[in-house]
Amino acid sequence: MSGFGPGDAFLADCPGRLAVELIADKWTVVVLAGLSKGPVRHGDLIKLIGGISRKMLTQTLRRLEAHGLVRRRAHAEAPPRVEYELTPLGATLIDPIHALTEWARANGDAVLDALDAGLEQTAGNH
Amino acid sequence: MSGFGPGDAFLADCPGRLAVELIADKWTVVVLAGLSKGPVRHGDLIKLIGGISRKMLTQTLRRLEAHGLVRRRAHAEAPPRVEYELTPLGATLIDPIHALTEWARANGDAVLDALDAGLEQTAGNH
DNA sequence: CCGTATCCACCACGATACTG
DNA sequence: CAGTATCGTGGTGGATACGG
């Protein structure tokens, strides 16, 4: 109903798999979203995101850097300061991510409803 | 540059996290894409996707069913036949997924380029 | 402040074999 | 053909502590 032509699905070895492998983990999308407004410091990202450990943040950023989506900029100052920002390439990913966010805002409740509708387990507690 | 207002990012406990938790695994997005053209049989999905095991397919479908995104329909026939299809709610997820696919088709090469540009490791094998 | 190393628990995933 | 059970494993991600 909504978009894929006959040959351009997500299957087998299509390029679409690349996108999935790129973002299908716990933090990548969230980190990209955190960078979507401009350069941010490491510590600020930690607070902004909430729940991520320094280890995972650094690890995620490094991966994105290697993929050309994020740029790391270290300033040689007395208290070290490191800022991360999206590359132009990375910025192009924001729109698809934004589409996901919008979807969640619009349909999140429906999903949660379906979820606890399913919580009338096998047990028949009248 | 591209969309998030000041208060509507992906962070902390925003609804956006729901979407991430929903699709952030190896197969969910691929399975949804496989269903995007209409009802499909279990076995056909296996062949269509390529690489997924029956176990993971069933497991993924069951999760999507619980979230109200997929409907399971079993036909009482001699050789058992089971078809899966997107619910209307599930169909709304196709567009965001499609956006990802499009992104990958447009920018996949750039990512791969950045990736092996980074393969000039620390070692200086001129 | 930034980053990494280490240790560890957990779960996602695959292989295989079995039931209906 | 569809689904489940079981087992084994590697990787992901958290806590903590240390180094620059």
pLDDT digits (tens, 9 = 90+) for A26-66: 999 999 999 999 999 999 999 999 889 999 999 999 999 99
Q: Give me the residue spans of the domains in chain B.
A: 15-92
Number of H helices, E strands in chain A: 6, 3
Residues of A (60-99) placing their beta carbon closer than 7 angstroms to any atom of strand C are 62, 72, 74, 79-82
Burial of A91 (0-12, 13-18, 19+ CB in 10 A): middle
Q: Which fold has domain A15-92?
A: Arc Repressor Mutant, subunit A (1.10.10)
Q: State whether B18 and A99 contact (CB < 8 Å).
A: no
Q: Is A103 helix (H, G, I), strand (E, B) or coil?
A: helix
Task: Give the closest of A12, A16, A104 to B16, CB-based.
Answer: A104
Distance B3 CA to D20 C1' (A): 38
**Reported pTM:** 0.86
3-state DSSP call for residue A24? coil
Assess whether pLDDT exceeds 60 at residue B2: no
Contact B32, B69 (CB under 8 A): yes
- Retrieve residue A107's tokens: 């349909």
Does residue B80 approach strand C to less than 7 Å at its CB? Answer: yes
Closest CA to B4 of A89, A70, A48, A66: A48
